[in-house]
Amino acid sequence: MPIAPRSMRTSSLCRLTIPLMSAALALAVAATAAPAAAAPAAVGAGAAPATPAPTPAPTGTPDIPNSPVGEQLRWFLTAAAALPIPEDQIRAHFSAGFLAQVSPAQLNEVLKSLGGLRLESLADVTPTALSGMVTTGQGRLQISMAVDGDGRIAALLFQQEQRPAPRSWAELDKRLRALAPRVGFLAAEVRGNGACRPVHTVAPDTPRPLGSMFKLYVLGATAEQIKKGRFSWDTPLTIRPGLKSLPSGILQDRPDNSTVSVREAAKLMISISDNTGADLLIDKAGRARVETQMSKWSRHAALNRPFLTTRELFLLKGADYPRLAKNYLPLDRSRRYRYLATTVARTPLTEVKVWNKPRDIDRLEWFASPGDVCRAFAGLSALNTPPLDEAMSANDAGLGLDAKAWPTVWYKGGSEPGVLSMGFLARDAAGRTYVVTALTSDRRSALDENAAAPELLALVRGSFTMLAKDRVRG
């Protein structure tokens, strides 16, 4: 089944894209909502009016207009300064369409991760929409907000400042190598037979640490098992305590032994890089089947056996480090499986301490080359079903390709201290499919994601432009 174009899906209007904490194993938090022009369902009885009385804005902010969107921005800035925002307030100020895709808990999680908000400037102001710049604990971000016909917030977007895109592959190479000591890159066209035809590469066959990009292979194994009839997208998964991981994500906060469908776990795993969702799917599909799936799409699958869960990686790197890691790394493969099933599995997750410097990123991680990642995207495209497309297209990390020229955009990235990776599949209006992957790492120092992420996005954005031009010339 072909990938559904963005014109046939819900618009990405309430994307929440931010850098994550250093140990979060993911790059972005994102979700989609109904278009701002759509009429929302009524908020429950007893809710406050959709357009509240003006609330004093935090000091030092520019003048905010007395308009429907201005009043909501004024409320939002004040509410975000006293987290968590109560659920009843969120439901009073956000549209039903927005909240159908972004829960109050998710919204509070994103705002907490931002580390504070101060409005710096406003631009492109209309009565129902505006954009501007905010200063956060994660750096400067662009903010966009729009309200629906009832004055409720129907669109909210945080994204990195856009850097200028490269105009040549030589410029891209120079800027890419300035980001990290070790880089890998591939820009390729995916042919009709699923093969990746490289157009421009940097060390395309060298395996690099992936961070949460490994979840592409988990999604592939899940979709393959569904295709074979072993379970379905609606099969419930039990959130057992031993399968809970750490953020990013929200499933770790749900009650023990509650359930989530395969469909929801997959969407959360990709769209907000939910680590517990990934571990639930590894458990359901089976670690061995995930490893088999990776061997189909990767020439470096042996580096990922055992294929670690996020919980296992957190424990190996964060619980009494480096004791568990030092005991695990010298073992042969069979003894590694036993060590994970015994010693690591019995270690409480509460013993994990967040780290902010690279830890064994060349030995304890998930690994693939840029070419392997392209094969994963191509393989997912071949396996595509509506639930898979919904998951992969929910978050474009703020890439911002023109939706008319590029009706389909898929994304997955990953990060931890010393690792930052991004991978995109985009299909143009003529049906041609391209993949761009950038893998960067530094085993000695943590990468500055506030600077590196916008630069990587600019390089990827320029790559798709150059790919399209190369195709026309070819």
DSSP per residue, 267-305: HHHHHS--HHHHHHHHHHH-HHHHHHHHHHH-TTGGGGS
Q: Residue 119 corresponds to which tokens in the numbers above?
A: 């409005």
Neighbour-count burial for 46-56, b at 16+ CB within 10 Å, e otherwise: eeeebbeeeee
Q: Residue 188 corresponds to which tokens in the numbers above?
A: 């390729």
Distance (Å, rounded) from C-alpha 436 to C-alpha 135?
30
- CATH among 2.60.220.30, 3.10.450.280, 3.90.660.20, 3.30.70.120 for 6-160: 3.10.450.280
Angle separating helix axes 275-285 and 310-318, nearest 10 degrees:
120
Residue 373 CB neighbour total at 10 angstroms: 33
Q: For domain 169-473, give the CATH number.
A: 3.40.710.10
Question: pLDDT tens digits for the chain (474 residues)?
Answer: 233 333 333 223 333 433 322 222 222 222 222 222 222 222 222 222 233 333 334 445 589 999 999 999 999 999 999 999 999 999 999 999 899 888 899 899 888 878 889 999 998 899 999 999 998 887 788 899 999 999 999 999 887 778 899 999 999 999 999 999 999 999 999 999 999 999 999 999 999 999 999 999 999 999 999 999 999 999 999 999 999 999 988 899 999 999 999 999 999 999 989 999 999 999 999 999 999 999 999 999 999 999 999 999 999 999 999 999 999 999 999 999 999 999 999 999 999 998 999 999 999 999 999 999 999 999 999 998 999 999 999 888 889 899 999 999 999 999 999 999 999 999 999 999 999 999 999 999 999 887 899 899 999 999 999 999 876 554
pTM, rounded to two decimals: 0.78
- Looking at 25-121, list the stretches that DSSP marks H as alpha helix, in order from N- to C-terminal side: 68-80, 87-93, 96-101, 104-114
The residues spanned by each domain of the chain are: 6-160, 169-473
Alpha-carbon dihedral 379, 262, 104, 22, rounded to 10 degrees: -50
Burial (CB count <10 Å: 0-12, 13-18, 19+), residue 283 = middle
Q: What was the pLDDT predicted at 437?
A: 98
Amino acid identity, position 29: V
Amino acid identity, position 233: W
According to DSSP, the residues that pair with 198 across neighbouring strands are 188
In sequence order, the 6+-apart residues with CB closer than 8 A to the CB of 276 are 239, 243, 244, 245, 249, 251, 252, 310
Q: Residue 274 corresponds to which tokens in the numbers above?
A: 């939910």
Burial (CB count <10 Å: 0-12, 13-18, 19+), residue 120 = middle
Distance (Å, rounded) from C-alpha 420 to C-alpha 398?
15
Q: What was the pLDDT predicted at 41?
A: 26
Q: What was the pLDDT predicted at 124?
A: 85
Peptide bond into 369 cis (omega under 30): no
Residue bearing tokens 């046939």 = 8
Residue 463 CB neighbour total at 10 angstroms: 27
Angle separating helix axes 215-227 and 275-285, nearest 10 degrees:
40
Q: What was the pLDDT predicted at 473?
A: 57
Alpha carbon separation from 202 to 47, 366, 468 (Å, rounded): 55, 20, 19
Alpha carbon separation from 454 to 115, 163, 211 (Å, rounded): 19, 6, 18
According to DSSP, the residues that pair with 209 across neighbouring strands are 367
| Residue 341 DSSP code | I
Phi, psi angle pair for 304, to nearest 5°: -115, 30
| Residue 375 DSSP code | H
Q: What was the pLDDT predicted at 32?
A: 28
